[in-house]
Structure 1
Amino acid sequence: MNPTLGALTGFVSWTLLLLVLMEGIRTKLVATKAVAANGFTPDNATLSPFMQRLARAHANCLEGLPVFGGLMLISLLAGKPSLTDPLAYVLLAARVIQSLIHLWSTSPAAVTLRFGAFAVQMAIGLYWAARLLLGVMAQR
């Protein structure tokens, strides 16, 4: 498996893992009758701060997957994974780090670190988009 495909699989898997964790905790809350089955909001606003952060970390992955995953998929479909391979695992690591920091804390220092991890992803995404666009334009 090349790095782009591996990182894309990792991104999707990380997003799924956060969802499974959230739904596992929600299931426990329903089973213990701490929350009614219909008592959840999408952002977990009525639950613990950790659950609220977990919902947001999962939503961040869902928001980023079409953009960053889309760029990886485009490079694979175009037969140009060499454009994304070198930074694919860096992007995945930055995504996982962003999520873990989000789960850990919302202190000013943590938010700054979390943004740094997101900034890495944005920079990689912009770089990939530019390279992919230049490649398309060069083929004309």
Structure 2
Amino acid sequence: MNATIIALLGYIAWTLLLLVALAIYRTGLVMKQKKAANGFKADGSDSPPLGQRITRAQANCVESFAFIGGLLLLALATDSAAITNGLAYSLLIARLGQSISHLISTSVLAVQVRFAFFLVQVAICIYWIVMLALKFVG
């Protein structure tokens, strides 16, 4: 397996892990009769702070998959993983860092750290877009 495949698998597994964590968290609230099973807002805004952070971290992974997962899949589908392999692990680490900092806190420092991890991902994706475009558009 190459780095692109591992990063894509890791990204998907992390997104699923956050979804399972959210399901467990919400199930706990329902079991303790703090929320009705059908009483959760999709954005988590009506949940306690931890629930809000898990909801947003998971949703953020889903939102970013369009460009991150899309580029990883494009590289794999076009036999261009040599372009993405070099930074694939860095991107996955930045994705994990963004989510973990989101889960830990919403302090100003945590938000700045989270944004820095996001910028790393964006920069890597822009680089990949340029490299893929040069390969295919010439």
TM-score (norm. length: structure 2): 0.97
Q: Structure 1 residue 62: deviation in Å?
A: 0.5
Q: CA offsets, 1:61-103, max 9 Å, x none?
A: 0011110110011011100100000000100000000000001
Q: Deviations over 1:116-138 (max 9, x none)?
A: 00000000000001101111113
| Displaced runs of 4 or more, over 6 A | none
The count of aligned residue pairs is: 138
Aligned to 1:122: 122
- State the alpha-carbon separation in 2 of the partners of residues 93 and 103 from structure 1: 15
1:84 equivalent to 2:84? Answer yes
Q: Specify the alignment match of 2:10 in structure 1.
A: 10
- Of stretches 35-44 and 89-98 in structure 1, the one that deviates more from structure 2 is 35-44
Pairs within 5 Å for 1:1-140:
1-138=1-138
Identity of aligned residues (%): 47
- Following the alignment from structure 1 to structure 2, what is the Cα–Cα distance between the partners of residues 28 and 128? 41
In the TM superposition, what whole-angstrom CA distance separates every residue of 1:3-50 from its partner, at most 9, and x where no partner exists? 000000000110000000000111121122221111100122121111
Aligned to 1:90, the other structure's residue is in SS state helix
Q: Can you give the 5+ residue segments of structure 1 that lack an aligned partner in the other structure?
A: none
CA distance in 2, matches of 1:24, 1:70: 29
Does the 8 A contact of 2:26 with 2:51 survive in 1? no
